[in-house]
Amino acid sequence: MSKLKGKAAFVTGGTRGMGKAIVERLAKEGAMVAFTYLNSESSAQQIVYDIVEAGGKALAIKANGAIQGAVENAIDAAAEVFGEINILVNNAAVAVNGPIETANERAEAYNKQIDVNIRSVAEAVRTAQKYMPDGGRIINIASVGGIRIGSPGMSDYIATKAAVSAYTRGLAWDLAPRKITVNSVEPGATETDMLINADENIRQYLMDSIPLKRFALPEEVASLVNFLAGDEAGYITGSSFKIDGGISA
């Protein structure tokens, strides 16, 4: 496959779950891919090795989205290697759940969610667009929870993801003169580490609410991202795409 051959992509949070699947799919389609990681250096380097062994080009950059300037520096470094950034995927996110009664005790965690889930997304967009030729692609990973909560204790996290979807719509107007499209992908329950390791009662509760009676695979989310990153999606912008097995229907 070579639909993205010659394109340079930057993905935040690319070593696990959806992020890893997105990095691997974009590379499989021919894109040069830079991605960030926080703690999993060995995993990040293994992904790079596998992509290079398959004939591709990849770059892993350590960056903590909770620290202002970290994502900006990472994108600057990627652009120095690749020359430009054609595709930006904002995937990195932090989720901290808990009852409203303990919100004050979780203030630091709340601030981290704001920094990673909203501020670093804006930082990535503002930095990447400087290196993005006309006709580029920006894909933000939001959540179906932005319109359907489904359970208590998620208000802080869901607020940040709803903000990402709203931000996407505004950016679509801002970047339209340059033919840069901006869309969001809103996954439902997906087979990532968080869900795989969840209590069986929680898994069953989620499963019961999904019409298709299964969880999404990270590779399915990556397929949607890959489509939005390609030439065939050139007339799609400012849109939110739910991939949730029908839970929001």
Q: CATH number for the domain including 113?
A: 3.40.50.720
Q: Has residue 2 been placed in a domain?
A: no
Q: Give the integer Cα–Cα distance in Å for 112 and 119.
A: 10
Tell me whether residue 248 is in a domain: no
Q: What is the pLDDT of residue 198?
A: 75
Which residue range is the domain that position 205 belongs to? 8-243
Place of tokens 């690749």: 82
Predicted local confidence at residue 113, as pLDDT: 92
The C-alpha atoms of residue 220 and residue 60 are separated, in whole angstroms, by: 23
Residue 215 located in a structural domain: yes
Distance CA(246)–CA(202), nearest Å, equals 18
- Are residues 224 and 241 in contact, defined by beta-carbon separation less than 8 angstroms? yes
141 in any annotated domain: yes
Question: Residue 113 domain-assigned?
Answer: yes
Q: What are phi and psi of 115, to 5 degrees?
A: -65, -50
Q: Please report whether residue 3 resides in a domain.
A: no
How many structural domains compose the chain? 1
Q: Is 197 helix (H, G, I), strand (E, B) or coil?
A: coil
pLDDT band at 201 (very low <50, low <70, confident <90, very high): confident
Task: Report, as residue numbers or ranges, the catalytic residues.
Answer: 157
- Per-residue pLDDT at 150: 65
* b/e map 211-227, b = 16+ CB within 10 Å: eeeebbebebbbebbbb
